[in-house]
Amino acid sequence: MVLTHLILMVSMAISSSMVIFDFSKESDISDWEIVNDAVMGGRSGSKFNINDEGNGVFKGTVSLENNGGFASLRHRFNQKKIAGNKKVTIHLKGDGKRYQFRAKTNKNDQQAYVSYFETTGEWQTIEIKLSALEPTFRGRKLNMPNFPADELEEVGFMIGNKVNENFELVIDKIVLE
């Protein structure tokens, strides 16, 4: 009886997860888009590609020159119904710097829902509660509720630590649980 109950619980946990993106050497990354501060006259630059191991690599240089200071990467997809999911789990390898995970319920929304995370320079699994994603617009927190976690149409990453710096974020998998 206990074993049956345990198998059922594990099965339910597995079935409730939703893979947003699982990188591989064959991944089509054409729906991933770079958006840097150049849209506002800044001088930061970045690129995104798949490495020899089959991971997504977001890397570049953040420059404060000309009122710049950020580089970002976003993935848009058909809207997903995500009610019941409580967190996003990201398997990645950073460079010891701080990044933002960003989510949107609708790609046309002005606001993004944001949570910061620190990287260690080693492979790590970052877990972010969806309820902890705070609404922001152009770096300012908005006076509205946190992420509603009913629908999802965009995820992304941003670096903008108010310093000139090179960066590299290697992404293996993004999963909702």
Residue 141 confidence (pLDDT) above 50: yes
Q: Spell out the domains of the chain, with CATH numbers in brackets.
A: 18-176 (2.60.120.430)
Confidence (pLDDT) at 39:
84
Please state the separation of Cα 75 from the chain's center in Å. 9
Q: In which band, very low, low, confident or very high, does the pLDDT at 157 lie, cut at 50, 70 and 90?
A: very high
Rounded percentage of the chain residues whose pLDDT exceeds 70: 92
CB 117 within 8 A of CB 129: no
pLDDT of residue 4: 42
Tell me if 114 sits within 8 A of 120, measured CB to CB. Answer: no
Position 115: which residue type?
S
| pLDDT greater than 50 at residue 12 | no
What is residue 118's predicted lDDT score, i.e. its pLDDT? 98
Question: At residue 45, does pLDDT exceed 50?
Answer: yes
